[in-house]
């Protein structure tokens, strides 16, 4: 992509309404624009990151055997009356009347709808286990939307729903999602710690929140530092095998959000040097809620003995849009964002340090052509800004690799490669740059 042809409305100043670094940097880096309280337009740079995060979530759901579908954002109120949550959900629910005065709502989550879909088709335990998921926009009329995409009103969520014949089966589905979440967040360069959590409006008695440590996080957390060094299962993990050793390993080290924290146990179990009380960002939450929805909504299957029983369910959410902010909170410095390569909007940025100089322009064009031909996502800063402004912009938007092309270096057949994550620099020939990044 040539920057002269892209749409990247970088802000010079810090927007005053931004209270936390991710909100500030997303606005300054031209990644998004607020259209209403808690409602954002995703501009091209931010949208590229959102799609990369979404794709990692999708790949790990698919690897765990979940099946992707897409449910609508609008739902019938009567569906929620069946489960009894229409009134219980309260003011966070956006209630809508259509032209025929039919009562609809903008979905804050989809347990009712997926249960309705399931019960319409599945009648036998032989079709279980089943895990259906989608990646869809949600609306929750938060009292105080704030911190940019961290606590929005319209936000993108991956929500998966599992269906099993009994609790044992449902726990196996739960464990698959637990492992998939460990892999998902690690692939984004995050350490997201699974912590026992309250179940809240979703219900049930078993839930884990996946929390990324960050001083600006809304959740207070208490952990044994050992949890930060536990191994994340590899891509060859056997989802049809016994996952309980992995779950046991990750749940036997103390990690709890403040609402389920047990101070006495923490002091007793965790040596002082390993105790960490900090804050974190909830990037995902998983729930086992048994027959909470299948009872009220009659989602029954015939068991092996032919007798109809309500299925045992679980739901598993990831804050896809929240993750854009969470990754910035975890990966930034004073100059701006430091994207992990897996989610970066572009892999490399070419900075032409002397626009108009034939040798420099030629070398940049050749690098741009060769890297693009090898499938490397490149942003070529071909604007006529001064070099200093180009450096600042590249640091701000956080592209992992910067290729600095100037007349002096070129005279020796070299360009400078800067790694954004640690600031390390290397001089090499353009051909070596292509070999390194392709
Ligand atoms: N207001 C919000 N803005 C941005 N992300 C949010 C917001 N509310 C929740 N999320 C994200 O969505 C994830 C799942 O939301 S949840 O309420 O915990 N779970 C559910 O809704 C279940 N139905 C899971 S399928 C959260 O872990 C969080 O990362």
DSSP letter string, 395-432: HHHT-SEEEEE-HHHHHTT-EEEEETTT--EEEE-HHH
Closest atom of ligand 1 to CA, residue 209: 27
Task: Tell me, in angstroms, the distance from the centre of ligand 1 to residue 333's CA.
Answer: 27
Task: Tell me, in angstroms, the distance from the centre of ligand 1 to residue 322's CA.
Answer: 9
Nearest to 435, CA basis, from 377, 378, 371: 371
- Degrees, nearest 5: CA angle 346-347-348: 95
Task: Tell me, in angstroms, the distance from the centre of ligand 1 to residue 201's CA.
Answer: 11
Nearest to 109, CA basis, from 325, 316, 322, 290: 316
Tell me which of 322, 326, 329 to substitute to probe ligand 1's pocket, judged by most ligand atoms within 8 Å of the beta carbon. 322
Residue nearest to atom 24 of ligand 1 (CA): 317
At 39, list the tokens: 């409602």
The pLDDT of residue 358 is 96
Task: Tell me, in angstroms, the distance from the centre of ligand 1 to residue 383's CA.
Answer: 40
Task: Tell me, in angstroms, the distance from the centre of ligand 1 to residue 184's CA.
Answer: 16
Ligand 1 site residues, Cβ closer than 6 angstroms = 109, 111, 140, 142, 151-152, 155, 157, 159, 202, 282-285, 315-317, 319, 321-322
Give the whole-angstrom CA distance, residue 184 versus residue 62: 11
Task: Tell me, in angstroms, the distance from the centre of ligand 1 to residue 153's CA.
Answer: 11
ipTM surpassing 0.95: yes
The pLDDT of residue 219 is 87
Cis peptide before 426 (omega within 30 of 0): no
Task: Tell me, in angstroms, the distance from the centre of ligand 1 to residue 371's CA.
Answer: 38
Residue nearest to atom 9 of ligand 1 (CA): 319
Tallying the residues shown for the chain, one arrives at: 438
Count helices and strands (H / E) in the chain: 14, 23
Tell me which of 71, 162, 173, 285 to substitute to probe ligand 1's pocket, judged by most ligand atoms within 8 Å of the beta carbon. 285
Residue nearest to atom 8 of ligand 1 (CA): 151
Within its chain, how far is the Cα of 406 from the centroid? 37
Within its chain, how far is the Cα of 271 from the centroid? 32
The pLDDT of residue 350 is 98
CA distances from 18 to 21, 32, 284, 367 (A): 8, 13, 24, 37
Closest atom of ligand 1 to CA, residue 160: 25
For the chain, the farthest-separated pair of C-alpha atoms sits apart, in whole angstroms, at 82
Task: Tell me, in angstroms, the distance from the centre of ligand 1 to residue 318's CA.
Answer: 6
Residue nearest to atom 23 of ligand 1 (CA): 109
Closest atom of ligand 1 to CA, residue 108: 21
Task: Tell me, in angstroms, the distance from the centre of ligand 1 to residue 138's CA.
Answer: 9
Contact 105, 93 (CB under 8 A): yes
Task: Tell me, in angstroms, the distance from the centre of ligand 1 to residue 319's CA.
Answer: 5
Per-residue pLDDT of the chain (438 residues; tens, 9 = 90+): 999 999 999 999 989 989 999 999 999 999 999 999 999 999 999 999 999 999 999 999 999 999 999 999 999 999 999 999 999 999 999 999 999 999 999 999 999 999 999 999 999 999 999 999 999 999 999 999 999 999 999 999 999 999 999 999 999 999 999 999 999 999 999 999 999 877 677 777 689 999 999 888 888 999 999 999 999 999 999 999 999 999 999 999 999 999 889 999 999 999 999 999 999 999 999 999 999 999 999 999 999 999 999 999 999 999 999 999 999 999 999 999 999 999 999 999 999 999 999 999 999 999 999 999 999 999 999 999 999 999 999 999 999 999 999 999 999 999 999 999 999 999 999 999 999 999
Closest atom of ligand 1 to CA, residue 286: 24
Tell me which of 109, 157, 292, 293 to substitute to probe ligand 1's pocket, judged by most ligand atoms within 8 Å of the beta carbon. 157
């Amino acid at each position: 992509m040539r920057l002269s042809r892209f749409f990247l409305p970088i802000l010079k100043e810090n927007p005053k309404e931004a209270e936390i670094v991710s909100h500030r940097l997303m606005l300054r880096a031209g990644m998004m624009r607020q259209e209403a309280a808690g409602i954002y337009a995703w501009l091209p740079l931010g949208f590229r990151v959102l799609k990369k995060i979404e794709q990692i979530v999708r790949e790990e759901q698919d690897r765990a055997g979940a099946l992707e579908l897409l449910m609508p954002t609008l739902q019938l109120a009567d569906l929620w009356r069946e489960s009894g949550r229409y009134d219980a959900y309260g003011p966070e629910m956006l209630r809508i009347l259509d032209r025929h005065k039919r009562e609809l709502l903008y979905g804050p989550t989809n347990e009712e709808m997926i249960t309705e879909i399931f019960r319409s088709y599945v009648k036998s335990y032989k079709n279980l286990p089943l895990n259906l998921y989608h990646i869809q926009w949600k609306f929750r009329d938060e009292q105080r939307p704030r911190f940019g995409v961290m606590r929005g009103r319209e936000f993108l969520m991956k929500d998966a729903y599992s269906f099993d014949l009994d609790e044992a089966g449902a726990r196996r589905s739960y464990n698959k999602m637990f492992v998939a979440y460990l892999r998902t967040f690690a692939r984004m360069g995050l350490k997201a710690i699974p912590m026992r959590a309250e179940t809240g409006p979703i219900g049930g008695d078993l839930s884990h929140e996946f929390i990324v440590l960050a001083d600006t996080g809304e959740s207070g957390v208490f952990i044994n530092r050992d949890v930060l060094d536990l191994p994340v299962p590899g891509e060859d993990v056997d989802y049809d095998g016994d996952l309980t050793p992995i779950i046991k390993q990750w749940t036997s080290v103390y990690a709890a959000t403040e609402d389920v924290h047990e101070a006495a146990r923490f002091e007793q179990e965790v040596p002082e040097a390993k105790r960490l009380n900090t804050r974190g960002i909830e990037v995902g939450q998983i729930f086992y809620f048994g027959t909470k929805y299948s009872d009220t909504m009659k989602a029954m299957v015939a068991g092996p003995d032919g007798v109809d029983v309500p299925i045992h369910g679980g739901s598993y959410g990831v804050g896809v849009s929240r993750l854009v902010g969470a990754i910035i909170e975890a990966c930034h410095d004073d100059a701006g964002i430091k994207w992990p390569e897996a989610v970066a909007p572009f892999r490399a940025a070419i900075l032409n340090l002397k626009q108009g100089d034939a040798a420099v322009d030629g070398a940049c064009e050749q690098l741009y052509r060769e890297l693009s031909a090898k499938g490397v996502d490149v942003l070529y800063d071909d604007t006529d800004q001064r070099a200093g402004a180009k450096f600042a912009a590249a640091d701000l938007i956080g592209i992992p690799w910067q290729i600095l092309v100037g007349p002096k270096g070129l005279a020796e057949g070299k360009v400078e490669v800067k790694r954004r994550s640690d600031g390390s620099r290397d001089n090499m020939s353009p051909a070596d740059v292509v070999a390194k990044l392709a």
